[in-house]
A and B are shown apart, each in its own frame.
Chain A
Amino acid sequence: MPAREVLCPACRRSLPLEASVLAGLTQCPDCAAPIRIAVFPAFNRKPVTGQAAERITGEAEAACFFHVSKKASVPCDECGRFLCALCDFQIDNRHLCPPCLEAAQQKRSITSLERTRTRWDIIAWYVNLAILTCIGAPVAALANLVITLLRWKAPGSRVANTRLRLILATLFAVAAATLAGLSMFGVIG
């Protein structure tokens, strides 16, 4: 059972901590506000404490690269340095040392560490708003072509197909520019 409190979202008073009682609650016992609670297995799990680094007891034991007095438990998957439990960062089933983790974060090579990404396809559709102005279509088409060429390899959304949207935005702008050009030279309209 967790040591902390579970609070009613309405009155912020403590709710019972038994999982079976929480799951069966339809209203707060204190303020009678209607609530529904879904309880998950983690609720009954004991909190996991971090593993402490062990001291070296014999000469045959390998030492941590960063803490020479600590026993190495695993090598870094990137650079191969020996790491103690304190220096071992487990990300996506990989063991990394602090410098490799920092480098990976800077290079944005670990997807789960990324917090933001720029959506160039949305920018391309914003650029397409220029089509609404009288000479905007060629400008939008040119701008979107540049964006597509320069940002083709940029990381897109983690969940949406940004390349397809980028192509559609560019094709839309090119089609609008073509129509505007044909109309301007009197071919159509």
Chain B
Amino acid sequence: MQDRLQNDPAYRRLKSSSNYVVGHVSYWLGPDHLLLVDVIGFVERYRQFRLADIELIVIRPTRTRMLLGSIGACVAVPLVALAAGLWLQYLNTSDTDWAVGAGIASFFAAIASTFLTLVLAGGQICQTRLVTGVQEIRLPGMFRLRHAEALANALALQTQGSTPKPERVPDPPVSTAPPTAAP
């Protein structure tokens, strides 16, 4: 019987996890299955998918990053400008009221700038679905394109020993024969 008191060294953590306020989601590749570990509060929930049952990973890139980036920029840029203006005003007048305002504006500008940086630096956002013979589920926490592609590649390496490459339909050969003259 497997020792259930120790963590299993057979699992390899995939570079795809998502943190939220009271928990996080992580993906682990076992010898014959993919293990989804969802920690909510202090309870760890498991969900297993046998590698032999996984049929498709469907990744749909979305425009969420552009949308969030636009919102972040619309908030961050005015706040940064406001903070800079208030600091300049404080430097010119040496009035501490301007410094207080500048400090508050700088605080919110820093939050908005951090949010914007995280959104933009994290890469493209996507939805990832896992399809088996009897289910199609949206993978929680798998919302970065690079993470989803890494998951698909890791599963492919484990199941078939190579990275899946899209089999593109070859273009029809271009005819190089000279056009025949119309009779």
Closest to B41 in A: A122
Pick from B7, B11, B136, B152: contact of A38, CB below 8 A: B152
Contact A114/B39 with A37-B57, A40-B155, A42-B132 known, Cβ cut-off 8 Å? no
B18 within 8 A of A: no
Contact A117/B44 with A40-B160, A159-B35, A162-B7 known, Cβ cut-off 8 Å? yes
Shortest Cβ gap from A151 to chain B (Å): 11
Shortest Cβ gap from A163 to chain B (Å): 8
Contact A161/B7 with A24-B167, A38-B164, A42-B53 known, Cβ cut-off 8 Å? yes
Chain A neighbourhood of B166, CB < 8 A: 23-26
A75 within 8 A of B: no
Is the beta-carbon distance between B43 and A37 smaller than 8 angstroms? Answer: no
Pick from B5, B7, B28, B167: contact of A153, CB below 8 A: B5
Contact A38/B56 with A116-B45, A119-B43, A158-B7 known, Cβ cut-off 8 Å? yes
Is the beta-carbon distance between B155 and A158 smaller than 8 angstroms? Answer: no
Give the B interface residue count (CB, 8 A).
52
Chain B neighbourhood of A40, CB < 8 A: 51, 54-57, 155-156, 159-160, 164
Shortest Cβ gap from A14 to chain B (Å): 13
Give the contacts of A8-27 with B (CB-CB under 8 A): 9-10, 19-26
Pick from A35, A42, A114, A116: contact of B55, CB below 8 A: A42
1/0 per residue, CB under 8 A from A, across B1-42: the answer is 110111110010100000000000010100001010101011
1/0 per residue, CB under 8 A from B, across A18-61: the answer is 01111111100000011111111111000100000000000000
Chain B neighbourhood of A157, CB < 8 A: 7, 37, 44
Contact A38/B44 with A119-B39, A122-B39, A158-B11 known, Cβ cut-off 8 Å? no
A156 vs B59: C-alpha distance in the bound complex, in angstroms? 33
Is the beta-carbon distance between A155 and B4 smaller than 8 angstroms? Answer: yes
A116 vs B1: C-alpha distance in the bound complex, in angstroms? 19
B174 within 8 A of A: no
Which among B55, B57, B127, B136 has the greatest number of chain A C-beta atoms within 10 A?
A: B55
Chain A neighbourhood of B53, CB < 8 A: 42
Chain B neighbourhood of A163, CB < 8 A: 5
A20 vs B168: C-alpha distance in the bound complex, in angstroms? 7
Shortest Cβ gap from B54 to chain A (Å): 5
B58 within 8 A of A: yes
A118 within 8 A of B: yes
A100 vs B148: C-alpha distance in the bound complex, in angstroms? 39
A20 vs B170: C-alpha distance in the bound complex, in angstroms? 11
Pick from A6, A108, A126, A161: contact of B4, CB below 8 A: A108
Shortest Cβ gap from B67 to chain A (Å): 15
Chain B neighbourhood of A26, CB < 8 A: 166
Shortest Cβ gap from A149 to chain B (Å): 15
23 pairs, A vs B, C-beta closer than 8 Å: A2-B55, A6-B56, A6-B58, A21-B169, A23-B167, A24-B168, A25-B166, A36-B61, A37-B57, A38-B156, A39-B56, A40-B57, A41-B159, A42-B132, A42-B159, A43-B56, A112-B48, A116-B43, A117-B43, A118-B43, A119-B39, A119-B42, A159-B35
List of 10 A-B pairs having minimum Cβ-Cβ separation, nearest first: A38-B152, A43-B55, A122-B42, A38-B57, A20-B167, A36-B59, A9-B60, A24-B166, A24-B168, A23-B166
